Structure 1
């Protein structure tokens, strides 16, 4: 990745949070600079050295984008309410820059938000409450400034149609490309282990890890060959270690490198992620779900994920979030005993990773027809 504005890239991605998945994807996406404010715990320093993103606050990001004269700028989606001030600063700077240059920079976004920002818990103090109102105003302004949007889930498209309005945006070009991965290349070297259940990612209540531990005693009773592998880290890591000490069929691998993660995904027959809403948070898609599919795994999750309908249609286990306590053990047991054939899971996936397809659509130089007139990118 070049330094921002050195003339070798015409586009830029401005994110609030950057994680390893973004870095991995950046190597295959349309070449663009990356500006970010903060990183996730799963930040691969080797990938950082290869991709060379630049960390910058809101005002510096706005200044860099305006100064460097990019042609296309990707920003966080408007429904990501905690990102709107950063995006608004960038867009305001671009308005001035475009005025001076007598041009119009194209603004694009990838949208998977599935929570109405108007329904988020309201602050009680007057100053934060005023800030929330400002954020909602900025979110709508950002939406009106967007030129192209790719919806990664049908839930996101419905949200934006209801909350922000799509039909009246004649200048907006949009499409829906279901947030599905392509088959991971490393799967060619792996074989599934029957009964291997994998929990991957943040060991937290919102990701349902406590529910997995609560269900495990029932699962192991009905599935004598089942093994639970826990990969990740988080607030409930000590609970994971306690479960492993009490049960030899529970394995814990805390925050391993990516090659170990891929190895465990190759072995696993089932990936479980029973996410549930907490305060302002709701599972949008779920990276463990995406990675599980890419490795031919059967997925057990809740209806919180934006691709719940697709998972149901393709035979995966989708549980109503309100029924996790009652149904999770039986659904994991069934999936561990009779997982989907890994080849069938892989065959259900697109040949090209959907995020790469979405990126190509957003950053394409040719004219793409408006959403209602062009369904070539849709997977519904």
Structure 2
């Protein structure tokens, strides 16, 4: 559970939220007014079995880290049906764009993945409605899991935001680049720091703001201490994140794949788009095709420092992307309305 989920929940019809783990960007104050319960998967299944729930949204079936929690929850509701209760509709929002069953693994992890695969197929077969947040996710699921053998409906609703209505009093800083996200290698923090001197060599007025927290926080602090063009904002409140994004010209998130992870969409990318930022990222995101078609800058993962710097410079100098590229309704909210239609 993370703050963006809680913010969105305030815009959705009332629903109880069961979750297991708080993410690094979880802000407790956002739970006010919501029914939010932190529970182990077994307790969550027990609560569901005793509840009047008619529609359950689960984590996506290819998210193997939580697939057994989903399987337990579905099993509890199906048992309730067998005991005379009403059958619940199972829905899911899917973003995975890398087939987890294709990753090369050693014997023991491969066995664990095989067991998780059994749960994933059970969950997939029990799911009634799915929205794919990117076409890349739709293709991945078609390849990774067999088509459900019963009534099943799906739709692709791009995970694009509507423009954010917030404002920043100081207005746009045309030379400002923001990195927003966990300070970890896979999000590309070392890459943007390595490329930054090449950016300022071309555009001395350029400024970089690092926003987030994580294992590489000391590296971020050192970079900010040594380079006056770099600012650091550690674990700010949501209002400050919105302020920083509203005044920034570019959001850079050069995500790097790992053997077990690939950027599905990138919440910082979505938030940057909502605030009118030009995006610099890698081809890993499931939104890569849309970003390229709408004038944003993409580089390959593992590209050179110069290639990343060139993309940032181009984004700073190019016209700002028009706000009317975005949908009038946030894609996740539109997906939720489709998933729960008739519930």
Quickly name the TM-score band, shorter chain normalised: over 0.9
TM-score, normalization by structure 2: 0.96
Among 197, 203, 217, which residue is 2:177 paired with?
197
Counterpart position of 1:361 = 338
Q: 2:195 aligns with which of 195, 212, 215?
A: 215
8 Å contact from structure 2 (residues 96, 137) kept in 1: yes
Q: Select the residue among 69, 72, 78 that pairs with 1:89.
A: 72
**Aligned-pair CA distance for 1:85:** 0.6
For structure 1, which runs of at least 5 residues remain unmatched after alignment?
1-17, 367-380
- How far apart, CA to CA, are the structure 1 residues paired with 2:184 and 2:112? 29
What's the counterpart of residue 144 of structure 1?
A: 125
Structure 1 residue 39 corresponds to structure 2 residue 16? no
Q: Partner residue of 2:280?
A: 300
- Which deviates more, 48-57 or 271-280? 48-57
**Residue-by-residue CA offset, 1:244-266 (whole Å, 9 max, x unaligned):** 11111110011111111111001
Unaligned runs of 5+ in 2: none
CA distance in 2 between counterparts of 1:69 and 1:147 reads: 18
How many residue pairs match? The answer is 343
SS at match of 1:228: strand
Number of the residue aligned with 1:51: 34
1:320-331 matches, within 5 Å, as 320-331=300-311
**1:241 shift after superposition:** 1.3
CA contact 1:81–1:139 (8 Å) conserved in 2: yes
Pairwise CA distance, 1:102? 4.7
Structure 1 residue 251 and structure 2 residue 234: aligned? no
Counterpart of 2:80 in 1: which secondary structure? helix
Report what 1:98 is aligned to: 81
Bigger mean CA offset, 60-69 vs 320-329? 320-329
User: Counterpart in 2 of 1:156?
Assistant: 137
Deviations for 1:56-104, whole angstroms, at most 9, x for unmatched residues?
1111101111110200000001110111110011111111101112532
* Secondary structure of the corresponding residue to residue 191 of structure 2: helix
* Counterpart for residue 287 of structure 1: 267
Q: Is this contact kept in 1: 2:168–2:246, CA < 8 A?
A: no
Check whether the contact 1:273–1:289 (CA below 8 A) recurs between aligned residues: yes
Separation (CA, whole Å) in 1 of partners of 2:328 and 2:110: 46
- Distance in 1, matches of 2:327 and 2:150, equals 30
What's the C-alpha RMSD, in Å, of the aligned pairs? 1.6
**Aligned counterparts of 2:294 and 2:191: Cα–Cα separation in 1:** 24
Selected match of 1:312 from 292, 305, 323: 292
CA contact (8 A) 1:85 1:138 kept: yes
On the 8 A contact 2:54/2:86 being kept in 1, the answer is no
Q: Find the aligned partners of 2:230 and 2:305 in 1 and give their Cα distance.
A: 20
Aligned match of 2:317 in 324, 332, 337? 337
- Deviates further, 39-48 or 151-160: 39-48
* In structure 1, distance between residues paired with 2:139 and 2:107: 29
Q: Does 1:225 align with 2:201?
A: no
Per-residue deviation at 1:209? 0.7
Q: 1:98 to 1:27 in 2, by over 3 A?
A: same
* Residue 27 (structure 1) aligned with residue 10 (structure 2): yes
Asked whether the equivalents of residues 301 and 317 of structure 1 are also in contact (C-alpha less than 8 Å), the reply is yes
Selected match of 1:111 from 94, 102, 105: 94
Q: Post-superposition shift, 1:48?
A: 2.0
Quick one: structure 1 residues 339 and 195, their matched pair in 2 at CA, closer, same or farther if it must change by over 3 Å? farther
Q: TM-score of the superposition, structure 1-length normalised?
A: 0.87
Residue 165 of structure 1 deviates from its aligned partner by 3.5
Q: What is the match of residue 328 of structure 2?
A: 351
Determine the C-alpha separation between the residues in 1 that align with 2:124 and 2:42.
20
Matched, 1:65 2:45: no
